[in-house]
Amino acid sequence: MKVDVVLGLQWGDEGKGKVVDVLTPDYQVIARFQGGPNAGHSLHFADKVHVLRSIPSGIFRDNAINIIGNGVVLDPVMFAQEIDELEKLGVDVTAKIRVAKKAHLILPTHRMLDAASEAAKGKAKIGSTLKGIGPTYMDKTGRNGLRVGDILSPSFMERYERLKQKHVAMLAQFDFEYDITEYEAQWFQGVETLRRFTIIEGEHEVNRLLNEGKGILAEGAQGSLLDVDYGTYPFVTSSNTVCAGACIGLGVAPNRIGEVYGIFKAYCTRVGSGPFPTELFDQTGKDLQRIGHEFGAVTGRERRCGWLDMVALKYTTMINGVTQLIMMKSDVLNTFPTIKVAVAYEIGGRRVTEFPYETNEEITPIYREFEGWNCDINKIRRYEDFPQQFKTYVEFIEQETGVPVKIISVGPDREETIVR
Ligand code: GDP
Ligand code: IMO
Ligand code: MG
């Protein structure tokens, strides 16, 4: 068996939660491999919305094992809150969730460092979700971090205190006031919640499950343009969101990766700061935001909106080795008479089709225009029934990327999905 991977090809919020939820009946195991509670994955079914942050989107399906892999960073407070909400819904979380020992812990002081660092950056801030993601990954690569497995060690408190004091000294360098007393108490309660779960040797477990013939779906968080190496640096997150991140974050070899499902919105959004070549500042942008309900699932912040960017999409399809494309939120474009797609950038009078080192304001997107379909496609369930204008749009994307669009989403609900 192989591990199939679902990941976002833009700046996050492409609809990964929905897709994982739709695909889970075909898999026995769902595994998160990077990121942390900066993610917000929404699932709509039975007229309800559920937002997941650290817990894999397979949690609502019977019999699915949900693994939090070693590449994830976990905040015990937020984890416990999510567990609490799921238990209220009657989900048997302890039976379904397993947490890798090597996943790193987000400390209360990591959150403070995130906030202090962002405040100090002023206008140049990343627009972080302030969940402590960056500082925790810094401690991981800096070889200072605390891991989930450490909560089982007799010296846990000592190690916690040592790392906390290191952070306190760092925080003293900022003009930043904070009080973690209350959060710290919740954090230790969260650690107790974590102890109720099966803590696993993630890499051994994942490979064992594969060898037993179990289907594993790896669920990415964020999107490829937020990848720390290949995204719009420094306006990125601190993990490898691309497909290779699934190997690192779960301990699976590259030759055990199977299908790579690349998810994109039929247009483009971004939350937080940083370059966005096709961003629209006009009424069309506002319409996309309103119709698409483009507000952050975690922070409630407005998502910036713009047209689909084929230069970026081809780039992320390449980096990830995408084998199947999944187009989301197609219904949001129902009422636009003309739909545009950036097919190249003009930079300093030159036409550029390769995603460049720097994506700054010097870029002018070169658009190709498509006639809109001007009708409601939400009820369509077979590809044949889509209007010709819609098919032209989809087939153009397939031609440009060289990858088939296998799933089309026409609404937030599980049911509003067309598999070709
Ligand atoms: P994720 O972070 O990639 O899981 O995506 P989010 O959950 O943050 O954001 C996607 C939003 O779009 C959620 O509110 C979804 O319910 C919603 N959504 C997903 N697919 C569709 C779709 O096809 N049409 C519409 N209108 N909304 C969708
Ligand atoms: P999902 O999984 C959209 C953005 C933040 C900020 C930058 C760095 O729901 O798609 P961080 O908190 O990681 O230090 O923030 O990355 N960001 C996301 N944007 N969706 C996400 O996750 C995101 N996670 C982080 O807005 O610009
Ligand atoms: Mg999201």
Taking the C-alpha atoms of residue 59 and residue 68, their distance in angstroms, rounded to an integer, is 11
Determine the atom of ligand 2 nearest the C-alpha atom of 8.
10
Cβ < 6 A, ligand 2 pocket? 8, 11-13, 38-41, 126-129, 131, 133-134, 221-223, 226, 237, 271-272
Average pLDDT of span 18-28? 94
Encoding tokens for residue 9? 């090809």
**What per-residue string of b and e applies to 135-159 under the rule 16 or more CB within 10 Å gives b?**
bbbbbbeeeebbbbbbbeeeeeeeb
Of all residues in the chain, what percent carry a pLDDT higher than 70?
A: 100
Beta strands in 231-272 (DSSP E): 257-265, 268-270
- Cα–Cα separations (whole angstroms), residue 399 to 327, 394, 395, 404: 14, 9, 6, 8
Specify the residue for token string 């992320």. 316
Tell me the C-alpha distance between 310 and 308, whole Å.
6
Confidence of residue 39 (pLDDT cuts 50, 70, 90): very high
Flag whether 410 is marked binding: yes
pLDDT in tens, 237-259: 999 999 999 999 999 999 999 99
Q: What is the pLDDT of residue 102?
A: 98
What is the model's pLDDT at position 271? 95
pLDDT in tens, 331-357: 999 999 999 999 999 999 999 999 999
- Give the mean model confidence (pLDDT) for residues 135-152: 98
Q: How far apart are CA 79 and CA 390, in angstroms?
A: 41
Between the alpha carbon of residue 32 and those of residues 65, 100, 399, the distances in Å are 11, 10, 31
> How far is the C-alpha of 406 from the C-alpha of 267, rounded, in Å?
17
CA 388 to chain centre: 32
Mean model confidence pLDDT for the chain: 97
66-110 tens-digit pLDDT: 999 999 999 999 999 999 999 999 999 999 999 999 999 999 999
Please give the pLDDT value at position 362. Answer: 86
Residue 359's pLDDT is what? 85
Q: Is the pLDDT of residue 298 over 80?
A: no
- Separation CA 381–CA 201 (nearest Å): 42
Task: Identify the DSSP state of 269.
Answer: E
Which pLDDT tens digit goes with each residue over 303-323? 999 999 999 999 999 999 999
Query: CB–CB of 407/420 below 8 Å?
Result: yes
Return the SS3 of 163.
helix
Q: Residue 380 corresponds to which amino acid?
A: I
Q: Can you name the residues that pair with 88 across neighbouring β-strands? A: none
Place of tokens 């974050």: 249
The tens digit of pLDDT for each residue in 189-204 reads 999 999 999 999 999 9
Which residue type is seen at 331?
D
Task: Indicate the pTM of the whole model.
Answer: 0.97
Given pLDDT bands bounded at 50, 70 and 90, which one contains residue 296? Answer: confident
SS3 62: coil
In sequence order, the β-bridge partners of residue 98 are 67, 198
**The pLDDT of residue 188:** 98
Q: What is the average pLDDT across 277-284?
A: 98
Please give the pLDDT value at position 360.
Answer: 80
CA 364 to chain centre: 27
Ligand 2, residues 54, 129, 301: which to mutate, most atoms within 8 A of Cβ?
129
Rg (CA), the chain: 21
* Cβ of 35 less than 6 Å from ligand 1: no
417 Cβ below 6 A of ligand 1: no
Q: What is the pLDDT of residue 299?
A: 78
d(CA 306, CA 41): 21
Q: Active-site positions? A: 13, 41, 140
Of the candidates 278, 350, 286, 346, the residue with the CA atom closest to the CA atom of residue 312: 278
Residues with CB under 5 A from ligand 3 (ion): 13, 40, 297
What average pLDDT score do residues 14-24 get? 95
pLDDT at 174: 96
**Is residue 328 within 8 Å of residue 262, measured between CB atoms?**
no
Instruction: Count Cα atoms within 13 angstroms, Cβ side, for 65.
Output: 18
134 lines ligand 1 (CB under 6 A): no
Burial of 11 (0-12, 13-18, 19+ CB in 10 A): buried
> What does the alpha-carbon distance between residue 96 and residue 67 come to, in Å, rounded to a whole number?
8
| pLDDT for res 297 | 77
Distance 237 CA to ligand 2 centre (A): 6
Residue 300 pLDDT grade (very low, low, confident, very high; cuts 50, 70, 90): confident
Ligand 1 and 15: CB distance under 6 A = yes
Pocket test for ligand 1, best of 13, 265, 270 (most atoms within 8 A of CB): 13
CB distance 412 to ligand 1 below 6 Å: yes
44-62: average pLDDT: 93
